[in-house]
C-alpha cells in the first residue's frame, strides 16, 4: 500500500469518498467511474490509490436508497482546483454523496474492502465453528438420553404377557355388553 506523499510542493494529497447508487448495471457503473476519473483529470489530479467497496447498507435512506457502493480515491491535486472538483462531483448524476478530506501526513492507504472481505470469511468460520459445537453438544445429549432409556427399559423387563384366548376374549366382551349400567 502506498504512503501518501505529494510529488511536489504545488500539489496536495486528498482523499475523495464517493457514494453512488448500488442498483446500477455494470455498464452504467463503469461509465460513472470513468466520468469521475475524467473529473479528476479535469482538476489536474492524479489518482494515487483507489479502493472500490462492495454494496453496503446505509444508516438512513438517501434519495430513497438504503444501500450504496463506495469508491475511496487518493488524489494528488493542486489546492486551487479542489473547490471546482467538489462542485463538479456535487452535480454528477448517480453520485448520492461525496466527501473530500486531507489525510494526515504520512498516512498509508489501505484497502479496507480486502480487510472487510477477510473479516466476513473469519466471521463465517467462527459462526460455523459455533454451529458445529452446538451440534456436537446436541449429539451427546441425545446419546446420553438413549443410554438412560435403554437402562430403564432393561431394569423394567417383566415376563411377557400372554395374549387372551378367543374364548376368554368373547367372555369378557359379553360381560361388558351385558352390564346393566349400559342402557342400550
Q: Return the pLDDT at 2.
A: 57
- Look at residue 121 and tell me if it is in a domain: no
- Look at residue 153 and tell me if it is in a domain: no
Domain extent at residue 67: 12-107
- Span between the terminal Cα atoms of the chain, in Å: 96
Number of CB atoms found within 10 A of residue 84's CB? 14
- Look at residue 88 and tell me if it is in a domain: yes
Q: Diameter of the chain by CA atoms?
A: 117
Query: Whole-angstrom Cα distance, residue 116 to residue 124?
Result: 12
Q: How far is CA 156 from the centre of its chain?
A: 53
Strand order across the 46-62 sheet: 46-62, 65-77, 12-21, 95-101
- Look at residue 175 and tell me if it is in a domain: no
- Look at residue 146 and tell me if it is in a domain: no
Q: Return the pLDDT at 83.
A: 92
From first to last of the 184 residues of the chain, give the pLDDT tens digit. Answer: 556 666 667 788 899 999 998 888 889 888 988 998 998 988 888 888 888 888 888 889 888 888 999 999 888 889 999 999 999 999 888 899 999 998 887 777 777 777 778 877 787 777 788 888 888 888 898 888 888 888 887 777 765 666 767 888 888 778 777 766 655 5
- Look at residue 87 and tell me if it is in a domain: yes
CATH code of residue 34: 3.30.70.60
Domain count, the chain: 1
Amino acid at each position: 500500500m502506498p504512503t501518501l506523499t505529494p510529488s511536489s510542493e504545488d500539489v496536495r494529497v486528498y482523499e475523495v469518498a464517493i457514494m453512488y447508487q448500488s442498483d446500477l448495471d455494470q455498464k452504467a457503473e463503469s461509465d460513472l467511474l470513468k466520468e469521475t476519473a475524467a473529473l479528476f483529470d479535469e482538476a489536474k489530479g492524479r489518482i494515487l490509490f483507489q479502493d472500490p467497496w462492495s454494496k453496503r447498507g446505509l444508516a438512513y435512506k438517501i434519495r430513497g436508497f438504503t444501500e450504496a457502493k463506495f469508491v475511496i480515491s487518493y488524489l494528488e491535486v493542486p489546492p486551487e482546483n479542489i473547490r471546482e472538483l467538489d462542485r463538479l462531483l456535487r452535480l454528477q448524476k448517480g453520485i448520492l454523496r461525496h466527501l473530500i478530506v486531507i489525510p494526515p501526513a504520512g498516512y498509508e492507504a489501505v484497502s479496507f474492502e480486502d480487510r472487510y472481505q477477510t473479516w466476513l470469511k473469519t466471521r463465517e468460520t467462527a459462526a460455523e465453528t459455533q454451529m458445529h459445537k452446538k451440534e456436537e453438544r446436541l449429539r451427546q445429549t441425545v446419546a446420553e438420553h438413549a443410554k438412560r432409556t435403554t437402562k430403564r427399559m432393561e431394569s423394567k423387563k417383566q415376563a411377557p404377557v400372554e395374549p387372551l384366548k378367543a374364548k376368554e376374549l368373547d367372555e369378557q366382551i359379553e360381560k361388558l355388553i351385558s352390564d346393566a349400567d349400559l342402557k342400550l
